Amino acid sequence: MGINITHFGSLVAATGGPAYSTYLTMKGIQLYGKQYGMQCRIIIPAFMAGQKMIASDVPIQYADHNNLGNQLQENHAAVYHIQGLWSPMAHRIAVFSKRNRIPYIVTLRGMLYPHALAIKKWKKHVALWLYQAKDLRNAACIQATCEEERAFYRDMGFRNPVAIIPNAVELSEILAPPQRTADSIFRIGYLGRLHPRKKVERILYALASPEMKDVNAEFVVIGKDDPAYEDYLKNETQRLGLKNVTFAGFLHGKEKTDAIRSLSVLVVPSDFENFGNIVVEALKEGVPVIASRGMPWQDLETYHCGWWVPNSVESLAVTLKEASSLSKERLFEMGENGQRLLRDKYEFESVSKKMVALYQWILQGGTCPDFVEVLDA
């Protein structure tokens, strides 16, 4: 019998980055954990009608709410890997693991950032008091995707080990950055869930600003989620008198790739993201990114593949104006720089091997990996 790593999370495509990175974590186990006898599966809640999975080529087990204890017992898991917080089912898995002396990992997914905790604040405060803090404290290790997320976790007083492992990026089919024609329109894109915390309206307000008055620009919104918020964005578009705004809806596969590659820049205006898979998706396709400083993407400036800007309409407008003035050669160069950044820091193989090393350390002990912080007792 192999070493069974059992995940709990979602593979629903509409959840975006968390589903994709969970899937790639599992693919990494399949490829790079196999030599150590590792195999994996994921327990997922039952689907709602019409939902699509991001992939189906990993072992999937649908959770039985009424029989979860027996399901877990029959899994013979060596490690449970819980993706995210606040789920009552994840809590049940943590309790089962603790009771049966099975180590478990929790990936934070940005859910302890101050901005995230401010959403449904009192409900989360109660959940922390009732069970979530204990579940985190009892975890064999916590996965943070960046140094900032680790710091927020420590600031809450938790002292158990923290591994900093970024989300992996699959680069096997990376394409050359798209060539830009001299007379092409300046096409701005947003990609991701349409939710009030994503602050997509900032892009609309920047487009309507004096800085962008003489720029021949289009804005393509790729994604769906909250119908009321989408209606709000459409109403604001009309109120501002913006003509070249398209709501493309949820795209996937080649249609999504083509839409991304048609962009001059991608803009991520949210106040916080613990990682931001949408940044990766754009950089992978050779598209420069404008990201707010609520995200851990200072490397956009270090690698000269985008802009890392303050969270304001004014700074976004000025940056869009600057980006629109760049030559096609400069945009192409920035696209190549972005792909180099991904190869240097987020390539699938190196990130996957870190995750496999983390599982080995948790199960076998020995020398602590250099990406794991262990505080003195």
**Is residue 176 one of the residues assigned to a domain?**
no
* pLDDT range class, residue 226, cuts 50, 70, 90: confident
66 and 124 share one domain: yes
**Is residue 200 one of the residues assigned to a domain?**
yes
**265 vs 251: which has the higher pLDDT:** 265
CA–CA distances in Å: residue 216 to residues 213, 265, 272, 283:
8, 14, 29, 23
Which pLDDT belongs to residue 180? Answer: 66
With a pLDDT cut of 90, the percent of the chain lying above it is 62
Tokens found for residue 120: 């449904």
358 and 264 share one domain: no
Cα gap 143→79, rounded to integer Å: 14
Domain residue limits at 55:
3-168+347-373
Q: What is the pLDDT of residues 138-187, one digit of tens each?
A: 999 999 988 888 989 999 999 999 999 988 877 766 667 777 665 578 99
**Verdict on whether the full-model pTM lies above 0.75:** no
- Tell me the CATH number at 208: 3.40.50.2000
**Is residue 217 one of the residues assigned to a domain?**
yes
3-state secondary structure of 247: strand
CB of 186 within 8 A of CB of 324?
yes
Would you say how long the chain is, in residues?
A: 377
Cα gap 218→190, rounded to integer Å: 11
Number of domains composing the chain:
2
Angle, vertex CA 221, rays to CA 217 and CA 223, nearest 5: 165
233 and 104 share one domain: no
Q: What is the pLDDT of residues 296-352, one digit of tens each?
A: 899 999 999 999 999 899 999 999 999 999 998 899 999 999 999 998 888 888 899
**Is residue 180 one of the residues assigned to a domain?**
no
**Is residue 174 one of the residues assigned to a domain?**
no
Q: Where are the beta strands (DSSP E) in 67-183?
A: 79-83, 104-107, 141-144, 162-164
154 and 66 share one domain: yes
**Is residue 175 one of the residues assigned to a domain?**
no
**Is residue 320 one of the residues assigned to a domain?**
yes
Which pLDDT belongs to residue 377? Answer: 59
Q: Side chain identity at 235, as an amino acid letter?
A: N
> Bridge partners of 105?
81, 141
89 and 37 share one domain: yes
**Is residue 77 one of the residues assigned to a domain?**
yes
